[in-house]
Chains A and B, each alone.
Chain A
Amino acid sequence: SAVISQKPSRDICQRGTSLTIQCQVDSQVTMMFWYRQQPGQSLTLIATANQGSEATYESGFVIDKFPISRPNLTFSTLTVSNMSPEDSSIYLCSVSLGAGELFFGEGSRLTVL
């Protein structure tokens, strides 16, 4: 298994500002994944954070809006840039250890006013 720490756990932000979410894993992993859940919607993959290369973004998500860093095999950050109320979501970091199942952090609940 993997233990994943995320921070902040929650935040309230003003429109137009940016917020960086941090994710720390207790073991080295090749890929880390960033998901979000908007109210009433399903958990949706934003991007895959790859160590040593650019993040891979899913359809509908772009680097300018969600820049990602992956400085080493245990840490990643996701920034939500120029926030609007539509960005109010729970953002989750996750990893896969090869058996298929994902391990998740506790999430960062973001409210944009």
Chain B
Amino acid sequence: ILNVEQSPQSLHVQEGDSTNFTCSFPSSNFYALHWYRWETAKSPEALFVMTLNGDEKKKGRISATLNTKEGYSYLYIKGSQPEDSATYLCARPRRGATNKLIFGTGTLLAVQP
């Protein structure tokens, strides 16, 4: 994997369902992995910055795990709510420029009431 890849591209779930999606990235020269949530007509909002293999971070009903050896991160949402509807982006810093990010194309989550 040369860049950041996310799957699935989109996801439709019912309110109350738990869901998860994947971010894959190059495992060599790992520095950090970012997750953002981007609601329509709003600013992308940082969820997590993950740096350590095996890291697990949590923010309310949202959590993320990191496997730097195999180059993937999972984002989990427990008990999805309509307000969770957004595009979830992951990104890795560019080599040699930790504040310049390379983004995946995102996973668009729609939670139906």
Contacts and interface: CB of A to CB of B under 8 A. Distances in A.
Tell me whether A and B are bound partners: yes
Contact of A43 (B42, B89, B98, B99): B89
Interface in A40-57: 40-45, 48
B44 A44 contact: no
Interface stretch (B13-21, B54-62, B70-78, B103-111): B103-111
Residue among B32, B36, B44 facing the most chain A CB atoms (10 A cut-off): B44
B99 A100 contact: yes
Contact of A33 (B89, B91, B100): B100
Nearest to A43: B103
A48 B100 contact: yes
A100 B49 contact: yes
A100 B48 CA distance: 10
Contacts of B4: 42
A99 B49 contact: yes
A106 interface: yes
Interface SS of B by simple majority: strand
Contacts, number: 53
A4 B43 contact: yes
Contacts of B93: 100
Given A96-B99, A99-B49, A104 B44 contact: yes
Contacts of B32: 100
A12 to B, nearest CB: 16
A64 interface: no
Contacts of A102: 34, 36, 44, 46, 99, 101
Given A92-B44, A102-B101, 10 more contacts: A42-B102, A43-B89, A43-B91, A43-B101, A48-B100, A100-B49, A100-B98, A102-B36, A103-B46, A104-B44
Interface of B: 4, 32, 34, 36, 41-46, 49, 89, 91, 93, 98-106
